[in-house]
Amino acid sequence: MKDRVLGTVLLSFKTIAYERYVPVYVKDLTVDAYSISLSCVPLKSYEELLKRAKSQLPEEKGSGERFEIPQMRAFRIGVRTIINNFKEVAVALNREPRHLLKYLTNEMATAASFEGTRATFQGKFDQNTFERLLNKYVDQFIVCPVCKRPDTRIIKEKRLFFLVCEACGARSSSKPV
């Protein structure tokens, strides 16, 4: 007799405190007054099928479930504020350092320069200012509004900007910095 899938049956595996709906490939079904006997795919092969099915799904890209915003390390010299790891932060966010720099200088209403790995801002700013603005930047220019993942890039078409998500494929309108 050819195997047929008759649906799902709740199987309880009390010994290992395990309960789950599994597809059952029925080979033989016997019903009498007291018992129903099913010959079905054993749990182990079910797990293997599940594993195989999962491995065939498109691979999840990205850094993982939790997205940690890199921290900018600010210190002041006279009336200037320097971020030594500026490039590192931009690279971690997968953005051009100049894009991030432009955003920050607009928000802080100041001028800044970027050289090598560091950015130098005119004016005295504290760590909190950078953290707050970096969070805003991530919300506006990094995180996909659909799936909330950070694996995105910005593209420009004609005069419009779009945030394209590598994880879910969504394309959301964005704005210039």
Q: Where in 65-94 is the site for Zn ion (CB under 5 A)?
A: none
Segment interacting with Zn ion, rule: CB under 5 A, options 58-66, 75-83, 124-132, 142-150: 142-150
Number of residues that bind Zn ion (CB under 5 A): 7
| Shorter beta-carbon distance to Zn ion: residue 92 or 167 | 167
Question: Distance (Å, rounded) from C-alpha 4 to C-alpha 42?
Answer: 15
| Shorter beta-carbon distance to Zn ion: residue 83 or 143 | 143
Report, in Å, the least distance between residue 61 CB and Zn ion: 10
Taking CB under 5 A as the criterion, the residue among 24, 119, 134, 144 binding Zn ion is: 144
Given a contact cutoff of 8 angstroms between Cβ atoms, the answer to whether 89 and 134 are in contact is: yes
H or E element that contains 137: helix 127-141
Q: Is 164 in the site for Zn ion (CB under 5 A)?
A: no
Given a contact cutoff of 8 angstroms between Cβ atoms, the answer to whether 81 and 124 are in contact is: yes
Question: Angle at Cα 121 formed by Cα 115 and Cα 127, nearest 5°?
Answer: 110
H or E element that contains 113: strand 112-115
Report, in Å, the least distance between residue 140 CB and Zn ion: 15
Q: Exposed/middle/buried for 150, CB within 10 Å: 0-12, 13-18, 19+?
A: buried
Question: Distance (Å, rounded) from C-alpha 6 to C-alpha 151?
Answer: 41
Segment interacting with Zn ion, rule: CB under 5 A, options 50-58, 59-67, 136-144, 153-161: 136-144
β-strand 152-157 against 118-122: which pairing, if any? unpaired
Q: Is 168 in the site for Zn ion (CB under 5 A)?
A: yes
Q: Is 146 in the site for Zn ion (CB under 5 A)?
A: yes
| Shorter beta-carbon distance to Zn ion: residue 100 or 142 | 142
Report, in Å, the least distance between residue 67 CB and Zn ion: 12
The token duo for 154 is 């910005």
Segment interacting with Zn ion, rule: CB under 5 A, options 53-61, 77-85, 110-118, 162-170: 162-170
Q: Is 147 in the site for Zn ion (CB under 5 A)?
A: yes
| Shorter beta-carbon distance to Zn ion: residue 97 or 150 | 150
